[in-house]
Structure 1
Amino acid sequence: MNAPRTTARQAHNSDWLDHAIRAGLVAYGVVHLLVGWLALQLAFGEKEDSASNSGALHYLAQQPLGGFLVWMIAVGMLFLVVWRLLEFGFGYRDESDDKKRWRKRATSLGKAVIYGAIGWSAVQVATGSGGGGGTDSTTAKIMNLPGGQLMVGAIGLAIIGYGVSLVVRGWTEKFREHLDAQGQAGQDGSAYVLMGKVGYIAKGVAIAIVGGLFCYAAITHDAKKSGGLDQALQTVLEQPFGPVLLTAIAIGIAAYGVFCFARAKHLSR
């Protein structure tokens, strides 16, 4: 009975998992660089693809060797899902406070879902089976359920909360814990920390806007008011000084991608 559990614990502490995590973080960084590039194109009125994770994958698929690279991202996301699930099941054992331990494990589970969603999107793009629906159609289905309007509002508040947590993590530089000592030292370390700070804050702002769209959809009972990252960035673009603000967010999202590369090189977990 304990053999599978023991094997999973060993896997969680193994060197091969470190290599898998590094590969996954590189893939995650590539996705963010592409999203940042598409958002920058949107800011300058030259957008052809959706400035979202799915749009980034479609953009990558159109490049030379794009299909192969999209599959590599799918595999990388799978590695990150495995990592977070092992973390959920066996991580944070040195945390003395049970509430903190389970809160951290719940966060790991949530990240596994996010990575899984990106990985599934990559598989759909690679196999040509993507399309259909969209965020607003999914929201509409939820809205039609009993208490659906409240559920959509709750989802929006949860997304806003996650976005705010990223902003706080970036502002307080709590993300430093993801880098080993070498990754925080010297000029390179200072650059990594700067990339992380800018990246976490920009990504948090973008995600909070997505949550705001969900809340607005719940208040107006109009599923079409909700949307993903692409619609959130469109909303930014429509504001006063929108292109300037969107350019800053695009650079920030790309900076988060660079930080993912630094984290892969100087992994601390």
Structure 2
Amino acid sequence: MTTAKNAARAATESPAFRTIARIGYVVLGIVHIVIGFIAISVATGGVGEADQGGAMEAIRSTPLGLFLLWAIAIGLAALAVWQVTQAFLERNPDTKKKWGYRVKYVGTAVAYLAIAFTAVVYALGGSSDSSQSSQTMSAQLMSTPAGVFLLVLIGLIIFGVGAAFVVRGARRSFEKHLDLPAGVARKGIVTFGIVGYIAKGIAVAVAGVLFVVAAVTHDPQKAGGLDAALHTLAELPLGAVILWVVAAGLIIYGVFCFARARYARM
């Protein structure tokens, strides 16, 4: 077991692997920037799905679309593996005792793998609809005895993830994972991180609320992913303005991911 752990650690600490993992942050930034621009289109009355599927569709339509989709898949898969190694192969004994950190790292890895899988689907010519998938899953859960409870639980977990993003941005806790330069550059990166984390957290939290609403009203059509959450924001009073702000925040988060690729502690 020790030999296997040492081999895994050595592999993930190699310069080549870390370079690919850093590319993962770059492509993650690209995905969020595309989602942000789609959300702006929705705010101005346009069409499009402001989620991972919509972003992959937009990327696939570009001249380098296929190359970018495979880059997204490979980069995020490498980033997911690195997250798992941080959870279970960390040398720091204090970190080993904190299961909360392990859950966070593994959860992040799962999210990266989900986006990577979506990229592979689109690279192979397929497509996906997150809102439709969420509604189908909600309907299936509601048909089971404990379905409503499970759907509420899912919604609360997603809401919790969104709230965690907001807190992480507000407290600037992401800074401890970065080796930032001094001066104006540091202030700019930190500001982008704060705005980006809070904007993404709001969008994710709204998606969680939609699952709870679907469970309480027994209406699976009200459940949805990120795209449904952003459309819900657009329907609020001053919704277009709110959606513009959140969309701009997602774009800023994407730009922050570029800086994260350069300065992340790996």
User: The TM-score by the shorter chain falls in which range?
Assistant: over 0.9
Name which of structure 1's ranges 155-164 and 61-70 shifts more when overlaid on structure 2: 61-70
Unaligned runs of 5+ in 1: none
The within-5 A match list for 1:229-268 is 229-268=226-265
- Residue 199 of structure 1 contacts residue 257 of structure 1 at CA under 8 Å; is this kept in 2? yes
Q: Does 2:88 align with 1:89?
A: yes
SS at match of 2:103: helix
Contact 1:152 1:214 in 2 (8 A): yes
> 2:108 — aligned with what?
111
- The amino acid of 1:96's aligned partner reads D
Kept in 1: contact 2:233–2:239 (CA 8 A): yes
Structure 1 consecutive aligned stretches of length 4 or more whose deviation exceeds 6 Å: none
CA 1:25–1:141: 2 relative to 1, 3 Å? same
Identity of aligned residues (%): 41
**1:175 is the counterpart of 2:174:** yes
Q: Match of 1:46?
A: 46
Contact 2:80 2:110 in 1 (8 A): yes
**Does the C-alpha gap of structure 1 residues 264 and 131 become closer, same or farther in structure 2, counting only changes over 3 Å?**
closer
Given that residues 12 and 87 in structure 1 are in contact (C-alpha distance below 8 angstroms), is that contact kept between their aligned partners in structure 2? Answer: no
Structure 1 segment 150-165 matched on structure 2, within 5 A: 150-165=149-164
| 1:13 to partner: Cα distance | 3.4
Partner of 1:13: 13
What is the correspondence of 1:173-252 to structure 2 with a 5 Å cutoff? Answer: 173-182=172-181, 185-252=182-249
TM-score (norm 2): 0.94
Change (3 A) 1:199 1:97: closer
CA distance in 1, matches of 2:88, 2:96: 14
Asked whether the equivalents of residues 84 and 108 of structure 1 are also in contact (C-alpha less than 8 Å), the reply is yes
Once the 2 structures are TM-superposed, how far is the Cα of residue 99 of structure 1 from its aligned partner?
Answer: 4.8
**Equivalent residue for 2:28?**
28
Question: Structure 2: any 5+ residue segments left out of the alignment?
Answer: none
- How many Å separate the matches in 2 of 1:97 and 1:7? 20
SS in 1 for 2:94: coil
Question: What letter is aligned with 2:92?
Answer: D
Q: Which residue of 1 aligns with 2:117?
A: 120
One-letter amino acid of the counterpart of residue 16, structure 1? A
Instruction: State the shift of 1:144 in Å.
Output: 2.0
Quote the RMSD (CA, aligned, Å).
1.5
Deviation per CA, 1:212-261: give whole Å up to 9, x if none. 00000111111111000111111110111111000000000011101100
